[in-house]
Amino acid sequence: METLLQNLLNGIAAGSIYALIALGYTMVYGILKLINFAHGDIFMIGSFVGYYAGGMLSKQLNAAQGGSASSPLYAALIMLLAMIICGFLGYLNERIAYRPLRNAPRIASLITAIGVSFLLEYGGQFVFGPDPKFFPTLVQKHVINIGGVVTTNYQLIVLGVAIVFMALLQFIVYGTKFGRAMRAVSFNFETASLMGIPTDRVISTTFVIGSMLAAVAGILYGLSYPKIDPLMGIMPGLKAFVAAVLGGIGNVPGAVVGGLIIGIVESFVGGSSYSNYRDAIAFIILIVILLFRPSGLFGKYQPEKV
């Protein structure tokens, strides 16, 4: 029973990071019908911003008063910085790589996305160096034991921060004027532009928001799994993509549920005697979903009209 709860808890913590990344995939897909493969690498950049900012802050503070950077305030500041940098990167990505291809066949954008992804991965190896780096301790870690189930304050922070940002996104999409514009663009790009919606700006902002969420995920990931390297975005990125497809790509609550399901399933498989299949399970889910429910759990089935 304890093991069961422990696995569930671990799964939710891992799943909420997948969910945050999946939101970026799903928003961009919803609006542009483009799978932004560079998204997992934006997530990686977010982690590296945290690594460098945290390192510099510790150094400054150590020099100044012998304090350390492990305080929630500094962690929040670092997260904000990562969000700003990644948001800007997301904007550049859209502006430079995808906007010129807006009217080109979809496959062209897709190949470009893969290209951008490689650029960030191997450019990252060049700039940051290919060796794994150790993410700084932004918040002091505490182990919390609740009746045999062990958690850390990190897992709770991950969960809390993820929930806050998901709620914020839900509010933006369904509660603001901008969100209405987003949904309109997603519904029909051309009609929306005829109605006077500045589609380019909406699309840019969508990329910025998605990239900011990836930055948040990057910082949370670095906090929980402090070994980061320039290729770290590949696997979480693919799994988050699976999570988005599982929930119904283009669907915001679907991405969250999909992420949590992937996290929990992985956790249980990892804890069973089939732990060597843990990485495979996400892709098995992908295949099953595509075979039996291609529109995902929450997606609407849209037959292709001739």
Partner 1 sequence: MKKRFILATAILSLSFIGCPPKTENAGGGAGTGGGAGEIVIGEYGSLTGGQATFGQSTHNGIMLAVDEINAGGGVNGRKFRIITEDDQSKAEEAANAVTKLISQNNVVAVLGEVASSSSLAAAPICQSNKVPMITPSSTNERVTQVGDYIFRMCFIDPSQGEAMANYLSRQVGMKRAAVLIDVKSDYSTGLAANFEKTFVANGGQIVGRQSYAQGDSDFRSQLTAIKATNPEVIFVPGYYNDIGQIAIQARDLGINQPLAGGDGWESPKLIEIGGKALEGAFYSNHYHVDDPAPAVREFVQKYEERYGAKPDSLAALGYDSTKVLADAIKRAGTTDGPKLRDAIAATKGFVGVTGTINLGPQRDPIGKKLVVLEIRNGQTILKAAVDPSAPAGGAAAPATDTTATNAPAGTAAATDSSTTGTAPSTSTARTQ
- Judged by the rule CB under 8 A, the positions of this chain that interact with partner 1 are 2-3, 6-7, 10-11, 14, 35, 37, 106, 110, 114, 118, 122, 125, 130-132, 134, 141, 143, 145, 150, 152, 221, 225-227, 229, 231-232, 234-235, 238, 241, 245, 249, 266-273, 275-276, 278-279, 283, 286, 290, 294-295, 302, 304
Instruction: Please list the helix, strand and coil fractions of the chain in percent, rounded to the nearest 5, in that order.
Output: 75, 5, 20
Contact 262, 246 (CB under 8 A): yes
Q: How far is the CB of 46 from partner 1 (least distance, A)?
A: 15
37 vs 74, beta carbon nearer partner 1: 37
Q: How far is the CB of 304 from partner 1 (least distance, A)?
A: 5
24 vs 270, beta carbon nearer partner 1: 270
Output the 3-class SS for 46-97: HHHHHHHHHHHHHHHHHHHHCCCCCCHHHHHHHHHHHHHHHHHHHHHHHHHH
Q: How far is the CB of 133 from partner 1 (least distance, A)?
A: 9
Q: How far is the CB of 91 from partner 1 (least distance, A)?
A: 23
DSSP state of 133: E
Q: How far is the CB of 34 from partner 1 (least distance, A)?
A: 10
260/254 Cα distance (integer angstroms): 10
63 vs 143, beta carbon nearer partner 1: 143
End-to-end CA gap in the chain: 54
210 vs 222, beta carbon nearer partner 1: 222
Strands (E), the chain: 133-134, 143-146, 149-152, 227-228
94 vs 266, beta carbon nearer partner 1: 266
